[in-house]
Structure 1
Amino acid sequence: MKFKRFLLRYYPPGITLEYVKSGNLRTKSIDLLDLSPETNPDQLVAKIRQLEPLITESRADQVKQLILRLQQKQGQQDHQRFFLTKVLQAHLLPLTNVAFNKSGSSFITGSYDRTCRIWDTVSGTELHTLEGHKNVVYAIAFNNPYGDKIATGSFDRTCKLWSAETGKCFYTFRGHMAEIMCVAFNPQSTLIATGSMDTTAKLWDVETGVDLATLTGHTAEVIALSFNTLGNQIVTGSFDHTVSLWDVASGSRIHTLIGHQGEIANVQMNWDCSLIISGSLDNTCKLWEAASGKCVATLTGPKEEVLDVCFNLTGQLIATAFADGTACVYSAATHQCLVMLEGHKGEISKICFSSQGNRVLTASSDKTARLWDVKSGVCLQVLEGHTDEIFSCAFNYESDTIITGSKDNTCRIWC
C-alpha cells in the first residue's frame, strides 16, 4: 500500500486516508465521533497509530494538526441568527419536500403540481423544472455528496433519475404497483432505493436503469427507508408496524424489528451503522441494535404520535417530533431525555439536527419553523411568515442556511 494524502471531514469529525493498493486508488475513514475540544490530541494520535498502519511516525504530526483543526472547528461559537432572504413562489400547488445538495449551492422542491424544481440558493433563481411525472412528486433526493443527480418518486408509481446540471431525465424506473413514498441514493451514488404503497422497496442501478432487486416481506405501505453510511445495508419502515434491515448485495432481509404497536413514521441508522432508530404512531421511539436486531431501548415522551425521528451526525443524540407540538432530544448512550423542546402550537412534521449537532430545526403545522439550542432546550428563533403549515425544512451542510417548504405553495430561504 502506498499512502497518497489525508482528507479532513468536519461533520461528523473524521480523517479520510487516500492510498494506492494493487494500482487502485482507495480510501478508508478514521471516524472521530467522540472528539471534543477537551480531547488530548497526542493521546488520540497514539491511539490512531496503534490501529492504523498507514499512520507512520513521520505522519503523526500531520495527523495531530488535522485533529487540532477539527477541535478548533468544534470550539467555534454558533451565534448565528437567521434572516429571511428570499420568498419563492415555487409551485402552483403545495410543496411536498425540500432538499439541499451537499455544498448548499442549490436545492430542490417537490410538489403536488407534478414537478420538481432546482433552485440556486444564493439568488433564488429557478435553474430547471423537472417535468414528466403524471401525479404528485412526493419524494426527492440529491445523490450527495456528489450532487450531480436527482431522484424523484411520484404517486404515478414511477421514479425518475435526472441530471442536476442540465435537468435531463436519464431514466424512468417502472415496476412499482402503487404510489412511491420515499427515495434514497446509496452513499456511492450507484443505487437508488424506492419505497412504495405496494408494500415493497426496490433497488435500481443508477448507471443502467435496471431493476436490481425487490425487497418483499412487508405487509403494508413502505413509507421510510435509508441506507447505512457504508451502503451495504438498507433499513425500511412500514405501516405494518415493523422495521426491516436488508442486505443490499443480495436483497435478502437480515432482521425484522418487531415491537411497535402502530405505523412507522421514520427510520434511520446512525453513522457507525450500529444502531437503528424508529419512530411510530404508537407514541414511542425504539432503538435497535443493527447486528442482532434486538430492541435496546424504548424512548417515551408525551403520550402523542411520533411523526419524525433522526440521529445527529455523530449518532450520539436522537431527536423526536410529536403530534402535540413538542420535541425531545435523547442520549443514544443512556436513552435519557436530555431536553424537551416546547413552544409550537401544532404538530411537528419534520425535525433535523445541524451538522454540528448543537442546533435542532423543527417544522410545524402552526405555520412556523423553530431553531432550538440542543443543550438548554431554549428556542433561539421562530421563523415566521408562511401562511400555511410547514412540512419540510433542511439545513445546508455548513448549517448557515435553512430552507422551509409549505402548503402555501412557497419556499423560503433563511441565511
Structure 2
Amino acid sequence: MRLKRFHIRYYPPGIILDYEKAGLLKTKSIDLLDLTPETDVDALITEITETEPLITASRVDQVKVLIKRLQEKLGQKDDHTFFLFKALQAHILPLTNVAFNKSGSSFITGSYDRTCKIWDTASGEELHTLEGHRNVVYAIAFNNPYGDKVATGSFDKTCKLWSAETGKCFYTFRGHTAEIVCLAFNPQSTLVATGSMDTTAKLWDVQTGKEVSTLTGHTAEIISLSFNTVGDQLVTGSFDHTVTLWDISSGRRVHTLMGHEAEISSVQFNWDCSLIATGSMDKTCKVWDAASGQCLATLEGHKDEVLDVCFNYTGQLIATASADGTSRVYNATTYECICKLEGHEDEISKVCFNPRGSRVLTASADKTARLWELNSGLCLQVLEGHSDEIFSCAFNYEGDIIITGSKDNTCRVWR
C-alpha cells in the first residue's frame, strides 16, 4: 500500500486518503467526528498513527496541518444572517421537493406540473427542464457527491434518470405498480433505490438502467428510505408501522424494526452507519442499533405526529419535526432532549441541520421557515414571504445558502 494524496473533508470532519494497492487506486477516510477546536492535536495524531499504517512518520506534519485547518473551520464564528436573494416562479403548480447538489452550485425542484427543473444557485437561472413524466414528480435527488445525474420519481409509477449537465433522459425505470414516493442514490452512485405505494422498494442499476432487485415484505406503502454511508445497507419505513433493514448485495432482509404504534414518516442512518432514527405518526422518534436491530431509545415529548427526523453530519444529534408545531433536538448518545424549538404556528414538515451542526432549519405550514440556534433553542431568523405552506428546505454544503420550496409554486433562495 502506498499513500498518494490527502483530501480534507469539512463536514463531517475527516481526512480522505487516496492510496495505491496492487496497482489499483483506492480511497479510505479517517473520520474525526469528535474533533473540536480544543482537541489535543498531538495526542490525536499519536492515536491515528497507531491504527492507520498509511500515516507514516514522514506524513505526520502534513496530517497535523490538515487537522489544524479542520479545527479552524470548526472554530469559525457562525453568525451568518440570511437575506432573500431570489424568489423563483419555479413551476406552474405547487412544488413537491427541493435539493442541492453537493457543492451547492445548483439545485433541483420537483412539482405537481410533472416536471423537475435544474437551477443555477448563483444566478437563479433555470438550466434545464426535465420533461417526460405523466404525473406529479414527487421524489427527486442528485447523485451526490458527483452531482452529474438526477433521479426523479413520479406518481406515474416510473423513475427517470437524467444527465444534470444536458438534461437528457438516460433511462426510465419501469416496474412499480403504484406511485413512487421516495428515492435515493447509493453513495457510490451505482444504484438508485425507489420506494412505492405498491409496498415494495426496488434497486436499479445506474449504468445499465436494469432492475437489480425488488425488496418485498412490507404490507403497506413505503414512505421513506435511506442508504447508509458505506452503501451496503438500505433502510425502508412503511405505513405498516415497521422499518426494514436490507442487505444490498443479496436483496435480503437483515432486520425488521418493530415497536412503533403507527405509520412511519421518516428513516435515516447516522454517518458511521451505527444508528438508525425513525419518526412515526405515533408522536415518537426511535433510535435503533443498526447492527443488532435493537431499539435503543424512544424519544418522547411531541404532542402530535413526528413528520421528519434527521441526524446532524457527525451523527451525534437528532432533530425531529412534528405536527404539533415544534421541533426538538436530542443527544444521539444520551437521548436527552437538548432543546425544544417553539414558535411556528402550524405543523413542521421538514427539519435539517446546517453542515456544522450549530443551526437547525425548519419548514412549516405556517408559510415560514425558521433558523434556530442549537444550544439556546432561540429562533434567530424567520424566513418570510411565501404565500402558502413550505414543505421543503435545505442548506448547501457550506451552510451559507438556504432554499425553501412551497405550495405557492415558488422556490426562494436565501443567502
Corresponding residue number in structure 2 for 1:356? 356
**SS of residue matched to 2:230:** coil
Letter in 1 for 2:95: L
Amino acid of the structure 2 residue aligned with 1:175: G
Partner of 2:69: 69
Aligned to 2:371: 371
Q: Displacement of 1:135 after TM fit?
A: 0.2
CA-based RMSD of the aligned residues comes to 0.4
Q: Which residue of 2 aligns with 1:148?
A: 148
Give secondary structure in 2 for the equivalent of 1:68.
Answer: helix
After TM superposition, give the deviation of residue 304 of structure 1 in Å.
1.1
| Residue 134 (structure 2) pairs with residue 134 (structure 1) | yes
Equivalent positions of 1:280-295 (< 5 A) are 280-295=280-295
Q: What is the aligned residue count?
A: 415
After superposition, the C-alpha distances for 1:357-409 in whole angstroms (9 at most, x for unaligned) are 00000000000000001111000000000000000000000010000000000
**Which string of whole-angstrom CA distances, capped at 9 and with x for unpartnered residues, describes residues 283-307 of structure 1?**
0000000000000000001221101
- Output the amino acid matched with 2:25: L
What is the distance in 1 between the residues matched to 2:302 and 2:139? 29
| Aligned partner letter, 2:92 | L
SS in 2 for 1:107: strand
Secondary structure of the residue aligned to 2:59 is helix
CA distance in 1 between partners of 2:212 and 2:5 (Å)? 35
- 3-state SS of 1:187 partner: coil
Q: Tell me how far 1:340 sits from its aligned partner.
A: 0.3
Measure, in 2, the Cα distance between the counterparts of 1:128 and 1:327. Answer: 35
SS in 2 for 1:370: strand
What are the Cα deviations for residues 181-217 of structure 1, in whole angstroms up to 9, with x where unaligned?
Answer: 0010000000000000000000000000010000000
| Matched letter for residue 125 of structure 2 | T
Q: Which amino acid aligns with 2:75?
A: G
SS class of match (1:297): strand
Counterpart-to-counterpart distance in 2, 1:313 and 1:210: 32
Residues 295-323 of structure 1 show CA distances to partners (whole Å, capped at 9, x for unaligned) of: 00000012211010000000000000010
Distance 2:333 2:347 in 1: 27
Counterpart in 1 of 2:36?
36
Match of 1:273 in 2: 273
Offset of residue 101 of structure 1: 0.4
Q: Secondary structure at the match of 1:170?
A: strand
Q: Secondary structure at the match of 1:66?
A: helix
Partner of 1:221: 221
Instruction: Report the alpha carbon displacement of residue 64 of structure 1 after superposing the two structures with TM.
Output: 1.0
* Corresponding residue number in structure 2 for 1:345: 345
Match of 1:299 in 2: 299
Amino acid at match of 2:295: C
TM-score, normalised relative to structure 2: 1.00
- Structure 1 residues 12-23: aligned runs within 5 Å: 12-23=12-23
Using the TM superposition, give the Cα deviation of residue 62 of structure 1 relative to its aligned residue in structure 2, in angstroms: 1.0
Distance 2:300 2:37 in 1: 32
| Corresponding residue SS for 1:59 | helix
Q: Give 1:324 deviation, angstroms.
A: 1.2
Structure 2: give runs of 5+ residues left out of the alignment: none
Which structure 2 residues correspond to residues 210-249 of structure 1 after superposition, within 5 A? 210-249=210-249
Shift of 1:2: 1.2
Give the match for residue 88 of structure 2: 88
Q: Distance in 2 between matches of 1:390 and 1:310?
A: 18
TM-score, normalised on structure 1? 1.00
Whichever residue aligns with residue 307 of structure 2, its letter is L
Partner letter of residue 106 of structure 2?
S
Cα distance in 1 for residues equivalent to 2:121 and 2:110: 16
Identity of aligned residues (%): 75
Letter in 1 for 2:331: S
Letter in 2 for 1:405: G
The residue that corresponds to 1:407 in the other structure is: 407
Tell me the amino acid that sits aligned with residue 105 of structure 2.
Answer: S
